């Protein structure tokens, strides 16, 4: 068994070392993002080898056309080396055309799959063409001689980014094995189901919508414990060996990209020599506010469930926080709110009353950005995007913004409904589109966020502005002025349950993996270390005893998918 309390004592020296090291790191508040609609169907990274494709969350489009591969691209990227005769700038010019076209083709295949899920589009999306292109460029640069003496820093930076290709650096056999390991783990995750607590013969309950709904709405302690435990038994517990093998291959890929481990590879885009210490420093600033929130929630849950279940000092049981992973506590607002009955604003009924449609929601988002002196959405955006769930085919409904890498085609995919949540999400996704358009004239290798967190930071900032009472009044969705302290406090508390509670969870997600990738934690300590970090940063604990038979990190999608969380 994993004795969390005893194991925590051994961490004292580690914590002390971290605190000393923090004094040498400059603060950098690159905090993790909130995930809108994160419970919906996520993405399979084996289908997304393109770093520019980022789900921020007709057969091809509603009215759009499929970007066609040019004859130049048909000649074959494998001859790209002919452009290099010792002139790095000529090489970059040749790469610009090829990389943009390969990226466009890759994103188009992914779009086809997600907007029309069937075997044919899945096979198209799973092709390794883009990975092969990345590998060819990587090999060329590795044999191009000494490129470290390029005097132009901008040129050197482009070369550096082209030479970092992630898992595509693996040999074909290794890459195939890496993708198979991830797909095998995701198959376990995506097919997992549990039986009902109240009727053990009623099985087949899936994460979305069944289990997420139970975790959000049920207040039955034993039912929540059953769902929490069974989900982890059906997911993480079955993939621990696969995950260990994937870690070895992931680190091998990092080595081939001239990084020591995957942790260094994931930190590279942030361009911070001490990212973990920067994050620790940022967390130290936020921690006092989180502790106040944690203490208040503990008191209200103690009143609701009783002192025999909620201790005055022990960590909070993670299964009663309204979410499968304890990452957001907003679903327990109803039993913890400071002022019962003084609900914060929800303009969903007013939107329906005024006859809003999903397309109206996005037009409203466009008006918001135009009011900031930004441009309206181009015509191709309205023709190519999907705003409502089609009835004639299966679509993956996770809201996402798409850059087709050709400087003109930008789209949103979202199965929007007329409600306040989707109103905010529409603004969030359109913020990504505006960022795409803002850097569209940069070289292909620079067409991405300033760092992996920047896109989500922009989207979240916009979402926070849109949801304020003042803005909703300006839209005519709040008929009367709301000047009530109780309503304001409830609104801010709801935001804290969602945003502040999320921050330590996101930090733990990648801190645990950094420790695994850096070999600080072996397979025999995976689960124990996970719960040590959960207690240390989140102040929560599992509802039942856990051991190394379990692999609770694997119950969260991003772990088996090997997708970084700090972005």
- What does the alpha-carbon distance between residue 192 and residue 203 come to, in Å, rounded to a whole number? 11
Percent of the chain with pLDDT over 70: 83
226 is in an annotated binding site: no
* 8 Å CB contact between 456 and 567: yes
Task: Using the structure block, give the residue that is written with the tokens 């379990």.
Answer: 550
Q: Residues with Cβ < 8 Å from 81, sequence gap 6 or more?
A: 140
Q: Which of 67-76, 356-365, 371-380, 395-404 has the lowest mean pLDDT?
A: 67-76
531 is in an annotated binding site: no
Task: Rounding to the nearest 10 degrees, give the CA dihedral for residues 531, 536, 540, 544.
Answer: 30
- What does the alpha-carbon distance between residue 512 and residue 530 come to, in Å, rounded to a whole number? 6
* 8 Å CB contact between 436 and 403: yes
> What does the block give as tokens for 70?
């040019």
Active site residue 558: yes
* 8 Å CB contact between 366 and 430: yes
- What does the alpha-carbon distance between residue 87 and residue 89 come to, in Å, rounded to a whole number? 6
E strands along 295-439, which residues? 316-317, 400-403, 410-413
| Dihedrals phi, psi of 363, to nearest 5 degrees | -65, -35
- What does the alpha-carbon distance between residue 14 and residue 436 come to, in Å, rounded to a whole number? 41
- What does the alpha-carbon distance between residue 525 and residue 556 come to, in Å, rounded to a whole number? 18
Write down the pLDDT at residue 145: 65
Query: Mean pLDDT throughout 233-261?
Result: 97
567 is in an annotated binding site: yes
| Dihedrals phi, psi of 168, to nearest 5 degrees | -60, -15
For the stretch 17-65, pLDDT in tens is 233 233 333 222 222 332 323 333 333 332 332 333 344 442 222 223 3
456 is in an annotated binding site: yes
Q: Residues with Cβ < 8 Å from 288, sequence gap 6 or more?
A: none
> What residues does 205 pair with on adjacent strands?
194
How many helices (H) and strands (E) the chain has is answered by: 24, 4
Write down the pLDDT at residue 124: 81
- What does the alpha-carbon distance between residue 108 and residue 106 come to, in Å, rounded to a whole number? 5
Q: Residues with Cβ < 8 Å from 177, sequence gap 6 or more?
A: 249
Write down the pLDDT at residue 567: 81
- What does the alpha-carbon distance between residue 425 and residue 469 come to, in Å, rounded to a whole number? 17
For the stretch 187-234, pLDDT in tens is 999 899 999 999 888 999 999 889 999 999 999 999 999 999 999 999
Write down the pLDDT at residue 147: 64
For the stretch 477-516, pLDDT in tens is 986 665 678 888 998 999 999 999 999 999 999 999 999 9
Catalytic, out of 114, 429, 460, 535 = 429
Q: What is the pTM of this model?
A: 0.81
- What does the alpha-carbon distance between residue 336 and residue 288 come to, in Å, rounded to a whole number? 20
- What does the alpha-carbon distance between residue 207 and residue 41 come to, in Å, rounded to a whole number? 10
Task: Rounding to the nearest 10 degrees, give the CA dihedral for residues 401, 257, 163, 267.
Answer: 50
Query: Mean pLDDT throughout 79-102?
Result: 76
Q: Residues with Cβ < 8 Å from 89, sequence gap 6 or more?
A: 155
Provide the mean pLDDT of the chain: 84
* 8 Å CB contact between 42 and 561: yes
Q: Residues with Cβ < 8 Å from 231, sequence gap 6 or more?
A: 192, 194, 207, 211, 324, 555
> What does the block give as tokens for 195?
């039986």
| pLDDT surpassing 80 at residue 139 | yes
> What does the block give as tokens for 314?
């022990």
Write down the pLDDT at residue 81: 54
CA distances from 478 to 59, 349, 361, 470, 504 (A): 39, 10, 16, 9, 34
């Amino acid at each position: 068994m994993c004795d969390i309390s005893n194991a925590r004592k051994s961490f004292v020296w580690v914590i002390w070392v971290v605190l000393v090291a923090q004094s040498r790191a400059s603060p950098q508040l690159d905090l993790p993002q909130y995930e809108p609609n994160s419970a919906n169907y996520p993405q399979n990274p084996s289908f997304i080898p393109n770093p520019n494709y980022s789900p921020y969350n007709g057969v091809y489009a509603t009215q759009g056309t499929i970007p066609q591969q040019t004859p130049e691209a048909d000649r074959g990227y494998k001859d790209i080396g002919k452009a290099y005769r010792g002139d790095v700038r000529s090489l970059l010019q040749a790469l610009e055309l090829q990389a943009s076209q390969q990226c466009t083709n890759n994103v188009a295949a992914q779009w086809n799959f997600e907007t029309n899920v069937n075997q044919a589009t899945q096979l198209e999306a799973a092709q390794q063409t883009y990975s092969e292109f990345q590998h060819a460029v990587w090999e060329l640069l590795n044999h191009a001689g000494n490129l470290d003496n390029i005097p132009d820093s901008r040129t050197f930076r482009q070369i550096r980014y082209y030479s970092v290709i992630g898992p595509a650096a693996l040999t074909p056999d290794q890459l195939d094995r890496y993708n198979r390991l991830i797909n095998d783990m995701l198959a376990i995750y995506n097919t997992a189901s549990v039986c009902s607590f109240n009727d053990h013969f009623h099985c087949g309950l899936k994460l979305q919508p069944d289990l997420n709904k139970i975790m959000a709405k049920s207040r039955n302690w034993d039912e929540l414990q059953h769902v929490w435990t069974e989900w982890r038994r059906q997911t993480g517990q079955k993939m621990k060996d696969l995950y260990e093998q994937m870690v070895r291959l992931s680190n091998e890929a990092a080595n081939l990209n001239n990084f020591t481990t995957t942790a260094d590879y994931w930190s590279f885009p942030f361009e911070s020599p001490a990212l973990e210490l920067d994050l620790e420093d940022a967390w130290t600033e936020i921690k006092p506010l989180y502790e106040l929130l944690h203490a208040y929630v503990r008191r209200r849950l103690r009143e609701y469930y009783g002192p025999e279940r909620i201790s005055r000092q022990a960590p909070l049981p993670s299964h009663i926080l309204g979410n499968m992973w304890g990452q957001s506590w907003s679903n327990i607002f109803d039993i913890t709110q400071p002022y019962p009955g003084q609900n914060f604003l929800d303009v969903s009924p007013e939107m329906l009353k005024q006859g809003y449609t999903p397309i109206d929601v996005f037009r409203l988002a466009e008006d918001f950005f135009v009011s900031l002196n930004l441009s309206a959405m181009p015509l191709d955006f309205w023709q190519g995007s999907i705003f409502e769930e089609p009835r004639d085919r299966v679509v993956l409904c996770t809201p996402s913004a798409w850059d087709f890498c050709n400087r003109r085609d930008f789209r949103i995919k979202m199965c929007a409904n007329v409600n306040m949540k989707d109103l905010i999400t529409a603004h969030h996704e359109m913020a990504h589109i505006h960022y795409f358009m803002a850097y569209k004239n940069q070289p292909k290798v620079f067409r991405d966020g300033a760092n992996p967190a920047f896109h989500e930071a922009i989207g979240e900032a916009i979402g926070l502005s849109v949801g304020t009472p003042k803005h909703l009044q300006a839209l005519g969705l709040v008929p009367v002025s709301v000047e009530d302290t109780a309503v304001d406090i409830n609104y801010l508390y709801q935001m804290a349950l969602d945003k502040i509670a999320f921050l330590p969870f996101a930090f733990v997600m990648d801190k645990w993996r950094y420790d695994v990738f850096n070999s600080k934690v072996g397979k025999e300590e995976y689960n124990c270390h996970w719960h040590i970090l959960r207690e240390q940063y989140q102040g929560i604990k599992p509802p039942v005893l856990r051991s190394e038979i379990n692999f609770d990190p694997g119950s969260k999608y991003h772990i088996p998918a090997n997708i970084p969380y700090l972005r």
